[in-house]
Amino acid sequence: MRPEEIENILKRLENGEISEDDSTDNEDDIDYYSSQRDRLMELDDEEDVGNFPTDPNLDADPPAANVDTDMQHNLETVERNPTPTTSSQNNLQTAPFNSRNLVWRVKNMDLVQNAFQFAGNNEYSQEIMNLDTPFQFFSYFFGEDILRFLVDESNKYAFQKNPNFTEPVTVLELRKFIGILIFTSVYHYPSIRSYWSNITKFEPIVQTMNRNRFDKIREIFHMNDDSKHLPIDHPQHDRLHKVRPVIDYLNKKFITLPFEHRLSLDEQMCSTKMKHFMKQYLPNKPHKWGFKLYVLCSLSGYAYSFEIYSGAKDMDRLPGEPDLGAVSNTVIRLLRPVPRHVNHIIYFDNFYTNIPLVHYLTNEGIYCLGTVQRNRLGKSCKLPEKREIMKSNVPRGTYHENVASHEGLELSVTSWKDNKQVLLLSTNIIEAESVISNITNGRKKATEVVTRSEGRKMVAEAVDSNWNEKIEEQGRKDMNYANNNNVIGQVLH
């Protein structure tokens, strides 16, 4: 393909003329390999030329290093661990995984009753229960301590820039500044100056702070001391140094809420139109351009921890943590605060799912379920190929299961026919397989098969039965949305 054709396709993607949103999890796509070693192993299988010597330097560069930060109560100092733990003898050295050693058998994973019952604590503290308004929740996660820290850093930068600076920022002014930023994220004007324009002025902002003061605070606003920013050639250089204290503070605040039983991990885009070397393009996201975040969330959508991708070298593995590659190490870092051996279940897609990661997390007491790419299962996997299961005479919902053992851990992989073939790798079983039958007058009739349209009708009837309750719930949500202006107003004043 010529360069001009590639450029034309990229422009059309950016303009929304074409989309790749429907291409996920398609086996016709190019296979993803987390490292060059995985790719060489796959080629080795195809050519049947035997093993090859492993080289730890073949792994791709991992995402951003979430350097351990010891932020004190007043958030005045940030200490870094100067020694990369990747070379520490305390780290868990793992042997290279070879999928050819797996022996898959056609069977169902045995169900152990109550083996996966959640044993963790999901009760909220009294402090959380006492929070009533949206503003109180905002103040809990963005408290007075971080505001004072940001004020100190901003004033420090202002004096470094101009020793004659005589108008230091106060905590109240910073609150107003943040409130204005919240307003501008909801009410979009052509430019920041338009909010103070005589023609288009926005009264809540105009009455809160004059434009010159807002511009001055925006000019000196800082989150970290630039004098402590290590040079780019330093092994501990942090590309996110300017925002690192706030990232660490929020992550510590987020995990003060108890972890739910079921967790999910995926990428998220913080959309932006600015030019920046860390800006990413993800065609399958609603906002395709922006900063990429790895986020650990609950079933209800609450984010417990996040990490901003910056392409930095992975330098902060803790003692006992294995080196499983860039993507898997990111998962391990995000799951550090999750309690072990209380039967949490983590869900992720085939970008993350691989057998070494699943094995490590399950041994830590965190069960896994995720879509998986077939090339990560080995050649002995007996699941039907896509061309077989997608035949028209194979009914929707047809599934096949294989089970294998890896270092004493039983793994289950299931092929499920939906709009396309879906492969799931799991280390947990939620409930036993059941058969639905009709029994009338002591006679067992044929198993009832519900078609897709009939299923939709049944769901519609079930939803309609408690429609009033749903309407009331939506009404409460709308009222909460309407109260957002109250939150912004309280931040401003």
Which helix H or strand E contains 398, and what residues bound it?
Answer: none
Residue 184 banded pLDDT, cuts 50, 70, 90: very high
Mean pLDDT, range 3-28, rounded to an integer: 55
Residues 6+ apart with CB under 8 A from 116: 343, 345, 367, 428, 429, 430
Residue 218, CA atoms < 13 Å, CB-side half-sphere: 14
Start-to-end CA distance of the chain, whole Å, equals 58
305 and 254 Cβ atoms separated by less than 8 Å: yes
Residue 412 β-bridge partners: 403, 426
Q: Which residue has the tokens 């338009």?
A: 194
178-181 long-range Cβ contacts below 8 angstroms, 24+ apart:
178/142, 178/491, 179/208, 179/488, 179/489, 179/491, 179/492, 180/205, 180/208, 180/209, 180/214, 180/492
pLDDT score recorded for residue 40? 57
pLDDT score recorded for residue 14? 54
Above 80 in pLDDT, residue 3?
no
pLDDT score recorded for residue 282? 87
What is the spatial distance between Cα 175 and Cα 209, in angstroms, rounded to a whole number? Answer: 11
Residues 219-250 have pLDDT tens digits of: 999 999 999 999 999 988 899 999 999 999 99
Percent of the chain with pLDDT over 70: 66
Q: What's the mean per-residue pLDDT of the chain?
A: 78
More confidently predicted of 16 and 334: 334
Mean pLDDT, range 473-477, rounded to an integer: 54
pLDDT score recorded for residue 274? 87
pLDDT score recorded for residue 22? 42
What is the spatial distance between Cα 407 and Cα 111, in angstroms, rounded to a whole number? Answer: 19
Residues 318-374 have pLDDT tens digits of: 888 999 999 999 999 999 999 999 999 999 999 999 999 999 999 999 999 999 999
Above 90 in pLDDT, residue 205?
yes
Above 60 in pLDDT, residue 378?
yes
Of 70, 90, 44, residue with least CA distance to 248: 70
Which helix H or strand E contains 185, and what residues bound it?
Answer: helix 171-186
Distances (CA, A) of 90 to 87, 130, 171, 200, 235: 9, 43, 44, 62, 20
What is the spatial distance between Cα 120 and Cα 117, in angstroms, rounded to a whole number? Answer: 9
Alpha carbon dihedral 274, 275, 276, 278, in 10-degree steps, equals 80
147 and 171 Cβ atoms separated by less than 8 Å: yes
Which helix H or strand E contains 478, and what residues bound it?
Answer: helix 467-482
pLDDT score recorded for residue 26? 43
* Helical H segments across 195-347, by residue range: 203-206, 211-220, 244-254, 326-334
Residues 270-320 have pLDDT tens digits of: 998 888 889 999 888 888 999 999 999 998 999 999 999 988 666 678 888
102 and 110 Cβ atoms separated by less than 8 Å: no
Residues 18-71 have pLDDT tens digits of: 544 444 444 444 444 555 555 555 555 544 433 433 443 434 443 443 433 444
pLDDT score recorded for residue 435? 52
